[in-house]
Chains A and B, each alone.
Chain A
């Protein structure tokens, strides 16, 4: 009994959580005409009129009603106009509803805006960032976790305190700095400042610390150098945390908006989020195209999420406990 109440409430709230996504999907396959007519419900259903004569259905557009008659344009099944201003009896006109999916919206959004280019840019930037973050992160975390050296804790806490600084704070001076370096509107501006992630260092350090000392002793006796130990011993034992760090890095990079908005300008290196944002200003009245573009831009992450949901949720949850 109590369980069923839980399920009912969870279902209703879950529905409210996904409604925007469902509506996005259904609107993305509607024709703009239907949306403008006020047909904004969930089902991509279209209303249209048919003129029936001699057992054949003709698609029509009604022009003007004249008493019991109506002037219409007649179309054949390929929607070529075959008669104009035909006067017929109103009773021969039937209104119908039809389930219609306009996948061409996706194609149209792609021809209006070079989303393919933006998509490739975003992939390139995100993968570069993840790659860089894992390398710098693994090296630094290895030193912080395993090695003893002067100033280790000081440097580590300096890093951590840098992590607390929110992006809006260093956005303006970073712009000044990158402008000075001549990096504005380049890939470097999107990649290089992000290839060290303090959270990743923190995450990997926690993991590396759990590896027993005996294993390091054994590696040393076998004549393994530091780098070799990292590569052959530490990293293979840390696969799941590395995956977590990679997922975090990828999601963060894919979704980042304010930074690329400020640091880039030309369409050639524009990323998806910024491109989408410009598109939403240009095509603000073209609801269904906007929805198609939005759907397309969140699809990669939703797919990633579906395949790795356990891991993703667990990593977000652990970010809270260590907070």
Chain B
């Protein structure tokens, strides 16, 4: 005897499925379609094929925003990773006040990016900010912070007395790259972007720390006891045991932080935009750039969609890379 086809289970998924299909699946498909058109606020416009994608290749603004995003990622990810691992190790070693400190580090994670961006923007304010207040208290000159477009490497080398722009000038004529391009490539992120880097690290540190802490607590104590008997010091124990056994967590933190940092938007929007995206566009990251194209002047939703799909391709390849490598890092 065979049962009648049971519709029941489908009815249970239906409410969620409707939402997921209409508001996730369809938009994702739609974004491909939109990217082939000349779609603005008034309607689809005409089909222009891959024009939006080829436009991107010749768009200096696009490449600058890619470089800015890249700067953000290569500074935020390693610094956040190392700091959170250090914090987690210290936290793991104490008993009293452990949950207190954990909560203190975690508060930035639950607070809204909007509110804390406003706070940090005022901290970095040239006249009434805390950053310059401290700087002048300990005898340094006040800095431009969010208004400063010079690269941090330039600022550092110039403070040592090196004529960095001069070096770039002679180099650029030597190898035939324009001064501006070369400066962006080797000058490092602008001080303004560096402020964003600090805020981004600060915001995500608590999350990474508790992920690491959970990972550390999963390491069996016997390894350390054995190492203790063998006479290995704390530092040696860390590099010989902890670092290896924590590697799946490190891998997760690395990938997640990278993926999240690629999507940074709110702090850029609130601290350095709109409409400019930082001094000379030096804090314009990829999501800010696509937001600006889509909802700023001109409302070029198609171009914005194409940019979003490129971002999607980057994040998707990172995710796939993660899935592929994940098996290899598990001990």
Residue ranges of A at the interface with B (Cβ–Cβ < 8 Å): 2-3, 6-7, 9-10, 13-14, 17-21, 23-24, 27, 35-36, 38, 40-41, 135-137, 139-140, 142-144, 147-149, 152, 155, 159, 162, 164-177, 192-193, 195-196, 198, 201, 226, 251, 254-255, 257-258, 262, 273, 276-277, 280, 287, 290-291, 293-295, 297-298, 301-302, 304-305, 309-310, 312-313, 316-318, 320-321, 323
Contact = CB atoms under 8 A, between A and B. Distances in A.
Classify the interface of chain A: helix, strand, loop or mixed: helix
A172 B31 contact: yes
A89 to B, nearest CB: 34
A320 B118 contact: no
Contact of B107 (A21, A23, A294): A21
B119 A140 contact: no
Contacts of A36: 128
Given A2-B234, A276-B114, A309 B91 contact: no
A289 to B, nearest CB: 11
Given A257-B112, A277-B270, A302-B107, A320 B211 contact: yes
Contact of A173 (B6, B27, B109, B125): B27
Most buried by A among B6, B22, B114: B114
Most buried by B among A148, A171, A316: A171
Interface of B: 6, 8-10, 12-13, 15-20, 22-28, 30-31, 34, 39, 87, 90-91, 93-94, 97, 99, 101-116, 118-123, 125, 127-130, 133, 202, 205-207, 210-211, 213-214, 234, 249, 252-253, 256, 259, 262-263, 265-266, 269-270, 287, 290-291, 294-295, 301, 304-305, 308-309, 311-312, 315-316, 319
Contact of A135 (B15, B90, B316): B15
Contacts of A192: 19, 23
Contact of B202 (A7, A17, A140): A17
A23 B119 contact: yes
A298 B263 contact: no
Contact of B301 (A21, A137, A176, A291): A176
Contact of A23 (B17, B97, B101, B130): B130
Nearest to B92: A6
Contacts of A27: 122
Contacts of B8: 147, 226
A6 B94 contact: yes
A323 to B, nearest CB: 5
B101 A10 contact: yes
A321 to B, nearest CB: 6
Contact of A172 (B116, B294, B316): B294
A294 B119 contact: yes
Most buried by A among B13, B16, B266: B16
A195 B19 contact: yes
B112 A301 contact: yes
Nearest to B95: A3
Contacts of B90: 6, 9-10
A174 B27 contact: yes
B28 A309 contact: no
Nearest to B251: A323
Given A18-B107, A291-B122, A297-B112, A173 B9 contact: no
A152 B304 CA distance: 35
B122 A287 contact: yes
Nearest to A177: B27
Contacts of B315: 164, 166, 169
Contacts of A24: 119
Contacts of B97: 7
Given A20-B123, A290-B118, 18 more contacts: A13-B87, A18-B107, A38-B127, A136-B16, A139-B13, A171-B308, A173-B26, A176-B34, A196-B15, A226-B12, A257-B266, A277-B269, A287-B125, A297-B112, A297-B114, A298-B116, A302-B110, A312-B110
A290 to B, nearest CB: 6
A301 B115 CA distance: 12
B105 A155 contact: no
B12 A168 contact: no
B23 A273 contact: no
Nearest to B116: A20
A140 B15 contact: yes
A41 B114 contact: no
26 contacts: A2-B93, A2-B234, A6-B94, A18-B107, A139-B15, A139-B16, A142-B12, A143-B9, A165-B24, A166-B315, A168-B265, A168-B308, A169-B309, A172-B294, A173-B30, A193-B22, A196-B19, A251-B110, A280-B118, A287-B125, A291-B118, A304-B110, A317-B210, A321-B211, A321-B214, A323-B256
